[in-house]
Copies of this chain bind each other. A is one copy, B any other.
Amino acid sequence: MEHCVMPKYDVEAVRALIARRRPGYALESAFYTDPDVFRADMDAIFHRHWLYVAVECEVPEPGDALAVDVGTASVVIVRGDDEQVRAFHNVCRHRGARLLPPGPSIVGNLVCPYHAWTYGLNGALKFAEHMGEGFDPSCHGLRPVALRSVGGLLFICLSDTPPDDIDDLARQIEPYLAPHDLRNTRVAHSADLIEYGNWKLVMENNRECYHCTPNHPELTIPLFAYGFGFAPGELEPEGQEQAARYETLRQSSHAQWEAAGLPSRLIEHLDDRPTGFRTERLPLDGAGESQTMDTMAACRMPLGTIRDKAAGGLHFWTQPNSWHHLMSDHVVTFTALPLDEGRTLVRTKWLVHKDAVEGVDYDLEKLTEIWNATNRQDADLVEITQRGVADPAYVPGPYSPYTEGLVEKFMLWYAARLRAHLG
């Protein structure tokens, strides 16, 4: 039995919407605007799948805690005295008060601010005053939340029966992440941006670079726009040459990086499992070092075991809601957390080596400028799309078979996951 009480929604209506989804096309308006579909998404997707929410280095010491809101849910992540990281629902077992405010805290125990019920870092209720003799503290511990560190990236699942393919994901992806040694990083900067669009528009936006050339002048300095697909028949001779050059570079880079111990080749499981994911190490343009305006490393102190600065950008995506870029000098991680049918929080964190010193080893502006600009641009695109799909005159159009194939895969995954839950 699931222990969470989700708001009700019209299951039949959502089922009908999925049933008539036209493959290769954007979704109907209701998927982006209907509160019932949003509740279905929260129930079937966000409360039953693994969600990337934080980095292990955010709770480095016993007593370090981090509260993360996921919709109306909230989770406390805390490192215990035994060095284990655990997660609990951020809800007191007495009258339900939040134990910790969103964000980081340092705690000895988890003490409820209301009537001071006191929980250990393992969730057990240690102390509750005035409750009398019949009261059994062992029945009133904090409710645990499934937590999994994948190479230092923390995933939670709000369900009691989390998808077990997280094991396979970890097995496959950890070798890719390992050289960057995320456990020895530090959050240099964190930015929360509310995008005024449904979370699926945020994800669709993230799963293609069709919009990069017209919209991301900064990002396309280090990033090859051709890396995410193009229509070969439409290319001018100059374009064909560029595409061919990119493909050659990608293959030679892969060979060179793998020889140097950096797994690089594409792994793609976007639509064949609950915990969809994709990874590949991609060459960067220019100096090829980092997603910066001059394509050179933003931080002097290299991560982990990587000594060749020009290690490209390892991209790692998960479904439903995260994407990550890992470079030799820094890492950028993103998570998309739905607020309601028309608003999504995108949380971006920039990680550097844990000993890197701001102003000495890196300049914060240089480190963050590309993704701050790119996020802002994407937020604008998501907002004008949310407005458009809410227009009664909107009709879903076709995805490009070349540049939007991964958007379609996201949608196939999404429809399958809704079906798996709603029947």
Give the interface of A toward B (CB within 8 A): 3-6, 26, 28-29, 47, 72-74, 89-98, 101, 113-116, 129-133, 135, 140, 143, 158, 204, 210-211, 213-215, 229-231, 233-234, 380-381, 384-385, 387-403
Cα-based distance from A233 to B131 in the complex (angstroms): 10
Residues of B within 8 A of A95 (CB): 26, 204, 385, 388-389, 396-397, 399
Residues of B within 8 A of A394 (CB): 5, 91, 96
Cα-based distance from A230 to B97 in the complex (angstroms): 21
Which chain B residue lies CB-closest to A399? B95
Which chain B residue lies CB-closest to A135? B398
Q: A211-B114, A392-B5, A392-B47 given as contacts; is B397 within 8 A of A234 (CB)?
A: no
* CB-based contact A387/B74 at 8 Å: yes
Cα-based distance from A211 to B230 in the complex (angstroms): 63
Residues of B within 8 A of A210 (CB): 115, 129-130
Residues of B within 8 A of A396 (CB): 95-96
Which chain B residue lies CB-closest to A42? B392
Residues of B within 8 A of A402 (CB): 130, 132
Identify which of B29, B116, B234 contacts A5 (C-beta below 8 A).
B29
CB proximity of A341 to chain B, nearest CB, Å? 13
Identify which of B229, B230, B381, B398 contacts A114 (C-beta below 8 A).
B381
Q: A72-B390, A233-B133, A391-B73 given as contacts; is B397 within 8 A of A97 (CB)?
A: no
* CB-based contact B231/A130 at 8 Å: yes
Cα-based distance from A92 to B401 in the complex (angstroms): 18
* CB-based contact B96/A389 at 8 Å: yes
Cα-based distance from A3 to B353 in the complex (angstroms): 56
* CB-based contact A114/B4 at 8 Å: no
Offer 8 A-B interface pairs, CB within 8 angstroms, sorted by A: A4-B393, A47-B392, A93-B395, A95-B397, A98-B388, A113-B381, A132-B400, A135-B398
* CB-based contact B91/A391 at 8 Å: yes
CB proximity of A83 to chain B, nearest CB, Å? 26
Residues of B within 8 A of A73 (CB): 391-393
Cα-based distance from A113 to B28 in the complex (angstroms): 21
* CB-based contact B392/A114 at 8 Å: no
* CB-based contact A385/B231 at 8 Å: no
Cα-based distance from A179 to B318 in the complex (angstroms): 66
CB proximity of A232 to chain B, nearest CB, Å? 10
* CB-based contact B231/A129 at 8 Å: yes
Cα-based distance from A332 to B335 in the complex (angstroms): 48
* CB-based contact A74/B391 at 8 Å: yes
Identify which of B47, B132, B397, B400 contacts A96 (C-beta below 8 A).
B397
6 closest A-B pairs (Cβ-Cβ)? A4-B392, A96-B388, A89-B393, A130-B231, A98-B384, A94-B397
Residues of B within 8 A of A4 (CB): 392-393
Identify which of B94, B140, B158, B214 contacts A113 (C-beta below 8 A).
B214
* CB-based contact A131/B385 at 8 Å: no
Residues of B within 8 A of A395 (CB): 3, 93, 143
Q: A98-B384, A129-B210 are in contact. List 17 more A-B contacts (CB 8 A).
A: A5-B28, A5-B29, A74-B388, A74-B391, A89-B393, A90-B391, A91-B393, A96-B385, A96-B388, A113-B381, A114-B211, A114-B215, A114-B381, A115-B211, A116-B213, A140-B397, A143-B395
* CB-based contact A129/B47 at 8 Å: no
CB proximity of A190 to chain B, nearest CB, Å? 21
